[in-house]
Every structure is written in structure tokens, then in C-alpha cells.
Amino acid sequence: MRVIVGVNGSESAMAALVAATERARAVDDDLTVAVYGGPDPVDVVETRVRDRLSTLDIDAPVERLEGHPGGLLVERAEQGGFDRIILPGGTRSPLGKIQFDSTVEFVLLNAQTAVTLIR
């Protein structure tokens, strides 16, 4: 299966990246990482992701999404023939409520492929 994981550099996104790489390795999926800016600029996110992948000894292509990350991720998944999009499954409010950022919301509503949220 070809999977694309979206990462914005946040703590939950980096945790999702690690989980996605472990899963991809276990089932021999073909993994692509799409990085986009969030709390940090896309350059910083890309460096952080490449460092982490090299620590994990994973050789996966890293692509940058510059502009509207949700829209670009949906488009890339369709045009690139991906079977699944993987995203971090939201953050928690002070009270513990799950909150989705606008990228997760956009992808959930617009993706034609399966979407997996990692929690």
C-alpha cells in the first residue's frame, strides 16, 4: 500500500510520524512524508523530519506542502495514487477535549482516499 503522512512538526505530528513509520515497516508499506508549516516554518519542520527519519533509519521521500496544506495534501494523495493519508489525530484542550486543526478537518471532509488519524 502507498501511504502519505502529513507532518507539521508539532509534538503530536512527530509522534504520528513515528507510529506511521513503524506501521509501514511492519507491513512493508511504501511511505511518503509530506511536511508543512504549523507552529514552525516548513524549513524547520523539514529538517526535524529528516533528522527523525534518519534516526529511525527510514529511507522515505520527504515532500514540502507550501500554501494550503489540507488542499495540497488531498491533491497530492489523489494525483500520486496514494491509498491512505495519515495525520495526527488532534490535540487536547486544557479540559481534555480533542481538537482538530483546520488541516485535519479539511482532509477529513475532502479526501477521496482512506484517512487514518493517529492518537
Partner 1 sequence: MTRTYPEEAVSGFPQPTREVTDSEGRTILLCCPNESERLVEMYLAFDPADRAQGIPPVEESTIREWLDRITGPDTLNLVARHGDRTVGHVVFVGDTEYELAIFVLQAYQNAGIGTALLRTALGAAAATGIERVWLSVERWNNAAIALYRRVGFEAADTPEFGMEMTLRLDVTE
Residue 56 DSSP code: T
C-alpha grid cell, residue 48: 526535524
Q: Please report how close the Cβ of residue 117 comes to partner 1 at its closest, in angstroms.
A: 11
Q: Can you tell me the distance from the alpha carbon of 16 to that of 90, in angstroms, rounded to the nearest whole number?
A: 10
Among 55, 81, 96, 112, binds partner 1 (CB under 8 A): 96
Asked if 94 interacts with partner 1 (CB under 8 A), we say yes
Among 26, 79, 81, 93, binds partner 1 (CB under 8 A): 93
Name the pairing type of β-strands 30-35 and 84-88: unpaired
Q: Can you tell me the distance from the alpha carbon of 19 to that of 86, in angstroms, rounded to the nearest whole number?
A: 10
User: Under rule CB under 8 A, how many of the chain's residues touch partner 1?
Assistant: 13
Asked if 11 interacts with partner 1 (CB under 8 A), we say no
Q: Please report how close the Cβ of residue 119 comes to partner 1 at its closest, in angstroms.
A: 9
